[in-house]
């Protein structure tokens, strides 16, 4: 949405067509064009289709933002091979494949790749074995591609969001509220206190940082793994 407000035409994809079309309508309201592509990035052929449709719609690709994927939480012994495979299929392999397909186009424009990853890649927890592993792999991929980007003239960076007010976060708040027999406002306070953070992030917080990174003012950033988490990450 932030890129659209700055005048960028946008190609987006999602598995849920209703969600996809709703997002497209919101973006179009900013006065730009949208290519909404219903597909599942867990499937190997989807990346090529997404890039092809973006090029057909807009003739070029300047920026790629990889922001797909959620992984299953749970106790390690309860997580199956299928859970692990599914966790890597969308967020990691989806990003790898789309980056590979889009790279020649982005290279032609001296453009940018931005990976939205997550603080669990640096500070995993016992309920986040899959997500922490996937995120760590994507952070490593970011560093590797940043080095390729120096050669090819492509900017590559990553943002690690902490807890951000999304529908997924709302479900977690509801679970805490039910478990502790408190209301959702109190549950959110408890989450902030437990994580020792300043507050819950808003989607606009991440969008504003992304806009800076992708703007001319942020072009010196290369291979940066930026934590935007209200202080959730305590390690150096």
Q: Are 90 and 42 in contact (CB under 8 A)?
A: yes
Q: What is the mean pLDDT of residues 92-111?
A: 98
pLDDT tens-digit profile of 11-29?
999 999 999 999 999 999 9
pLDDT tens-digit profile of 49-75?
999 999 999 999 999 999 987 899 999
Checking if the pLDDT of 236 tops 90, the result is no
CB atoms within 10 A of CB 75: 9
Q: Are 146 and 219 in contact (CB under 8 A)?
A: no
* DSSP code for 44: T
pLDDT at 227: 97
pLDDT at 7: 95
Q: Are 225 and 175 in contact (CB under 8 A)?
A: no
Q: Over the Cα atoms of the chain, what is R_g?
A: 18
In 48-120, at which residue ranges do the beta strands (DSSP E only) sit? 63-66, 112-116
Q: What is the mean pLDDT of residues 93-112?
A: 98
* DSSP code for 58: H
Checking if the pLDDT of 223 tops 90, the result is yes
For 173, phi and psi rounded to 5 degrees?
-60, -45
Averaged pLDDT score across all residues of the chain = 96
Report the predicted TM-score, pTM, of the whole model to 2 decimal places: 0.95
Helix and strand totals (H; E) in the chain: 8, 6
What is the CATH topology of the domain spanning 61-164+201-228?
A: Rossmann fold (3.40.50)
pLDDT at 70: 83
Separation between Cα atoms, residue 23 and residue 26, nearest integer Å: 5
pLDDT at 86: 95
pLDDT tens-digit profile of 158-178?
999 999 999 889 998 999 999
Separation between Cα atoms, residue 120 and residue 142, nearest integer Å: 15
Q: Are 116 and 65 in contact (CB under 8 A)?
A: yes
Q: So where are the chain's domains?
A: 61-164+201-228
Checking if the pLDDT of 1 tops 90, the result is no
pLDDT at 167: 87
- Indicate the helix (H) or strand (E) that contains 85: helix 81-108
């Amino acid at each position: 949405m932030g890129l659209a407000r700055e005048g960028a035409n946008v190609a987006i994809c999602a598995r849920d067509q209703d969600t996809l079309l709703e997002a497209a309508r919101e973006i179009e309201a900013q006065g730009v064009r949208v290519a909404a592509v219903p597909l599942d990035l867990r499937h190997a052929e989807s990346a090529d289709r997404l890039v092809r449709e973006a090029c057909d719609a807009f003739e070029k690709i300047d920026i790629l933002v990889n922001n797909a994927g959620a992984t299953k939480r749970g106790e390690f012994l309860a997580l199956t091979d299928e859970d692990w495979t599914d966790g890597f299929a969308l967020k990691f392999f989806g990003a790898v494949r789309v980056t590979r397909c889009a790279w020649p186009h982005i290279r032609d424009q001296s453009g940018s790749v931005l990976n939205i990853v997550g603080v669990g890649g640096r500070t995993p927890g016992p309920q986040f074995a899959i997500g922490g592993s996937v995120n760590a792999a994507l952070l490593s991929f970011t560093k590797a591609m940043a080095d390729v980007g120096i050669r090819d003239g492509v900017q590559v960076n990553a943002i690690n969001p902490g807890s951000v007010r999304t529908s997924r976060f709302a479900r977690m708040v509801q679970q805490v509220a039910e478990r502790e027999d408190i209301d959702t406002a109190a549950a959110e306070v408890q989450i902030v206190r437990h994580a020792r953070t300043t507050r819950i992030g808003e989607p606009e917080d991440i969008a504003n940082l992304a806009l800076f990174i992708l703007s001319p003012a942020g072009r010196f950033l290369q291979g940066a793994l930026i934590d935007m988490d209200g202080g959730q990450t305590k390690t150096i």
